[in-house]
Structure 1
Amino acid sequence: MKVKICGITNLQDALDAINAGANALGFVFYSKSPRYIEVSKAKEIVEKLPPFVQTVGLFVNENENFINEICLEAKMQLAQIIDDNEIISYDLLNVKYLKVLRAKEAKDLRNLNKDFYLVDAYVDSFGGAGKRIALEWFEDIDCSRLILAGGLTVDNLKEIDGLGFYGIDVSSGVESEIKGKKDRAKMIAFVKEANEIK
């Protein structure tokens, strides 16, 4: 099970996440988020990371020029894109991308193409709401190209065992009392539990 820890705001949290076994680190370039990070700060962190760790930039309803510019400057290897307004021409992106599907109902998960998707529960805000998607929506669906996000904690991970997700994305579930500050022990426990999930 691949694990992405999102909402990284400082180097220590990034290193703790990697040492816990995270495969990818997420950096939020959405200014209204409590986990927002400035491009220069993200770049400083990325330049101090060890090899073989994927860096992911999160974007909310931005155009392709903005995404290209930020990913280049901050050294993001993947763009995680919420495009509710359907404004992006994906063929103009210079970086690999992952579309976010904010599911409102079970039928939103039907008839997806063969791309990878990050699937989250729909909320009016963007990210960090901790709302969980109904797991029964994934019954009889091939989840091997889906990354599950939203409300995941070490205490409820076992509920997704057997569904066959490609990966999981966590942010608030491994934070301390302060939004944007990760808890080292929670990250270690989360990744350890995730490695038991199939």
Structure 2
Amino acid sequence: MKVKICGITNLEDALNAINAGADALGFVFYDKSPRYIEPFQARAIVEKLPPFVQTIGLFVNEPNIFINQVCINAKMQSAQVIDDDAYTDFNTLDTRYIKVLRAKSKEDILNTKDEYVLVDAFVDGFGGEGKRLALEWFKDIDCSKMILAGGLNENNLNELKGYGFYGIDVSSGVEASKGKKDKQKMINFIKAVNEI
């Protein structure tokens, strides 16, 4: 199972996440988030990363021109897009992307198309709230193209056994405080993922 650690704000956390075994690092380009990072600050981190690590920018209700420019400025390889208000024209984005589904019910999950999607719990704010989705919503559903987010930590990962998610996304579950990761929590988290 792939692991993305989101909300990276500094090089130390980025390198600790990679050393713990993360496949991807997420950088938040939503300026109301406590984990927000300025694009050129993100670029300075990315330029010091080892090869084969995915860099993913998180965007909330932004037009293509903004997403494209930030991905260039910050050297992001993919965009993770929350598009509740239909600002983004996915057909003409210049970068690879994954859509975020903020699920309110099982029906939202059943309505997903046959494409990779990140599924998070719906909250009034955007991201890092630690709210969990009801796992029973995923029963008897093909989860092989779904990345699960929301309220995951080292102590509840074993509940994901048997669902076959493509990956998981964690932010607050491996933090010491908002915007600062905890090295040991990241190590423990990825160790727990590998035991699923």
TM-score (norm: length of structure 2) = 0.99
1:140-179 equivalence runs, <5 A: 140-176=140-176, 178-179=177-178
Q: Secondary structure at the match of 2:131?
A: coil
Measured after TM superposition, the shift of residue 113 of structure 1 is: 1.4
Measured after TM superposition, the shift of residue 99 of structure 1 is: 0.1
The residue aligned with 1:29 is: 29
Measured after TM superposition, the shift of residue 111 of structure 1 is: 3.2
1:183 and 2:182 aligned: yes
Which range moved further: 111-120 or 66-75? Answer: 111-120
1:7 and 2:27 aligned: no
> How many Å separate the matches in 2 of 1:147 and 1:13?
22
Which range moved further: 111-120 or 23-32? Answer: 111-120
Same amino acid, percent of matched pairs: 67
1:66 and 2:39 aligned: no
Number of equivalenced pairs: 196
> How many Å separate the matches in 2 of 1:35 and 1:112?
28
The residue aligned with 2:39 is: 39
User: Structure 1: any 5+ residue segments left out of the alignment?
Assistant: none
Q: Which amino acid aligns with 1:63?
A: P
**Over aligned residue pairs, what C-alpha RMSD do you find?**
0.6
> How many Å separate the matches in 2 of 1:111 and 1:35?
30
Q: Which runs of 4+ in 1 moved over 3 A?
A: none
> How many Å separate the matches in 2 of 1:143 and 1:165?
5
The residue aligned with 1:114 is: 114
Which range moved further: 140-149 or 111-120? Answer: 111-120
> How many Å separate the matches in 2 of 1:132 and 1:6?
16
Which range moved further: 95-104 or 82-91? Answer: 82-91
> How many Å separate the matches in 1 of 2:98 and 2:88?
13
Q: Which amino acid aligns with 1:194?
A: V
User: Structure 2: any 5+ residue segments left out of the alignment?
Assistant: none
